[in-house]
Amino acid sequence: MAEKAVNPYAPPVEDVGSTPPQTHLWCVVDGFLAVRHNAFLPPVDLEGDSSGGLLTPVVHTHFQGNSRRNGSPARVRFRGYASVASFEKRVKRRQWITRLTLFGFLLFLGGMASDQLPSHMAPAIALGKLVLIIGLVALIVAIVWDKLPTDVRCHGARDGWFYLRGVSPRSLTRFSARSHETPVMVKRKTFRFFGHRLPFFSLIQHKRFNPVTILVVAFMKARRSPALESLHLHYSEEARRSPESADPALIEQWKKESEGTELAQWRAVSAKTLHLPSGSMGIESLLLLSPDGKRSLTLAIRRFSLGRTVSSARQIIFRSWTADGCIQTITPPCLPIESPRVDRIIAKGKLLRLLDRHMAHVGNRPLISIQSNEELYGLLDAETEEQYAASEAAGLQSPIEIMELPEYPAEARPRATPPPMPI
């Protein structure tokens, strides 16, 4: 009996046995990080070189155009972690691409408008054509820059597995060392926040000069898009740490802006971390207290990651307490709803300028002098509880409920191996 002809151009085929269980959604194979849809990776630096430091949660989305031929979906979305340094580089890159795109678009429109000038304004028409060309070049550069493979990217897909390139060798080694782990379900206090119920300008307050963002948010708000709803952890789920382990960006901000001022005498109390259950946002904060205990300062940074959309926003909050409640000076963005016992003003500027604004806002009102960290934590917790109650009464958030959420570290379980990487 004649042997069956072999196609020399066909990809290699290997018997991979049964389909991996749904709990096994990632592994390292042949120098690639292989993931399936909805995978949740352990806290290993996905985008940097795993040289250490603070990690922030990220959500990656990757596409593979010909994946249908290999029995895979066209898109994969998964959760992981990235170093703060690599994340901030990606944010800066995205900001420059956005600026270049807007710059090129405006120049292109200006150049197009020059065609409407009367013929006797020939120099202006010639200048308009030059502006149009510059704008077109800027748009092309922005598009090419955006497409450059500078970070983690999909190399191929097969049988539902997406093979990622761009993960550093050190990170791959650490992923391999944790390949036996799977998330376990842990009970956490949560609530759902309904962003589409916020006023429109509260949604775009830090992006109000980006026309694309304005149009997208307006459409999502009009449709009451689920994308504007998010699941949050209760404040009691925050991980409180020593101030020495705070976010490096917050420590740098504090040292830079307090040097040589009275703020340099303030005492760092603690650092905190809170991640959204979806993995799309990480919130880091640093809490400080004045020597007399009458003023506190919170430096916070929110890092958002969802596919190609990344952003980083900072916030500064000065607080003082009286017998009647809390006095705040806060930088945007902030919620339009506040507790009845909070007297708040919104201001912008550096730390020293904001402190001056806060002192003027306090005036001659008698202030409570906080004597211990526990007393400060109690005041902050009470304020947050009142904020939750006000937001719930306004319909912006749901009641607190207990949910089971996946978290690492996990118990050891055997992992299945995906099919080999297609050539």
Q: Which residue ranges make up each domain of the chain?
A: 26-86+152-183, 91-147, 232-397
DSSP state of 293: S
Give the alpha-carbon dihedral of 107, 112, 114, 117, to 10 degrees: -160
With b for 16 or more beta-carbon neighbours within 10 A and e for fewer, the 136-151 pattern comes to eebbeebeeeeeeeeb
pLDDT digits (tens, 9 = 90+) for 27-50: 998 889 999 999 999 999 998 877
Number of H helices, E strands in the chain: 8, 17
pLDDT digits (tens, 9 = 90+) for 312-346: 999 999 999 999 999 999 998 888 777 889 999 99
Q: What pTM was estimated for this model as a whole?
A: 0.81
**Predicted confidence band at 205 (pLDDT cuts at 50, 70, 90)?**
low
Among 138-152, 159-173, 187-201, 286-300, the minimum mean pLDDT is found in 138-152
Pairing of strands 325-330, 267-275: unpaired
Helix axes 351-362, 248-258, angle to 10 degrees: 70
**Predicted confidence band at 172 (pLDDT cuts at 50, 70, 90)?**
very high
Helix (H) or strand (E) holding 153: strand 153-158
pLDDT digits (tens, 9 = 90+) for 360-381: 999 999 999 999 999 999 999 9
| Cβ pair 131, 103 in contact under 8 A | no
| pLDDT value of residue 73 | 62
Helix axes 122-147, 84-113, angle to 10 degrees: 150
| Cβ pair 21, 413 in contact under 8 A | no
Strand (E) positions, 213-280?
229-233, 239-241, 267-275
**Looking at residues 399-403, what average pLDDT do you find?**
96
**Looking at residues 87-108, what average pLDDT do you find?**
89
- Ramachandran bin of 103, using left for φ above 0, alpha for ψ from -120 to 50, beta for the remaining angles: alpha
Half-sphere exposure of residue 88, counting CA atoms within 13 Å on the CB side? 13
| Cβ pair 304, 280 in contact under 8 A | yes
| 411 has a pLDDT exceeding 80 | no
pLDDT digits (tens, 9 = 90+) for 263-289: 999 999 999 999 999 999 999 999 999
